[in-house]
Copies of this chain bind each other. A is one copy, B any other.
Amino acid sequence: MKLTSKGRYAVMALVDLARFDNINPVSLRDISLRQGISLDYLEQIFSKLKKNEIVKSIRGTQGGYVLNKNPNDIKLTNIFHAVDEKVKTVQCKKESKKGCNGKATKCITHNLWDELEIHINTFFENKSLKDLLTNNKETRV
């Protein structure tokens, strides 16, 4: 299962973006400074977000990024999928004709992981960027 900093950064950056892009495009530099994420790394992440049509880019001076959809329509599933965070619990090779063990059977626990995957994905499908904006203001420790 992969769920690492890259996905977290993507979400953080998009929440940041969603807050400011009403006025102007938001530069990665600003996000970098506000969120404490390396600029170079952000560029990699936004390249993928753009390919997946979650953000639009505006080049040149005063350029930056803006959301390409309504925050309510950007689900966490979309974000993670875009940055290759695979919510995949184990590598039971589904596509292969053989089972997970190289035998002709599914491994004992196969169904369990399927269930878990559904459980987690449901969570992400029901959460949108908007939910994060309204419920999760940056709070003091």
Contact = CB atoms under 8 A, between A and B. Distances in A.
What secondary structure prevails in chain A residues at the interface with B?
loop
Contacts of A139: 105-106, 110-111
Contacts of A59: none
Contacts of A108: 11-12, 15-16, 35, 132, 136-138
A114 to B, nearest CB: 10
A10 B105 CA distance: 19
Interface stretch (A40-48, A49-57, A61-69, A119-127): A119-127
Nearest to A35: B101
Number of copies: 2
A22 interface: no
Contacts of A102: 36
Contacts of A3: 1, 89-90
A116 B132 CA distance: 13
Nearest to A135: B111
A10 B139 CA distance: 39
A101 B35 CA distance: 7
Given A90-B8, A113-B8, A141 B15 contact: no
A61 B50 CA distance: 62
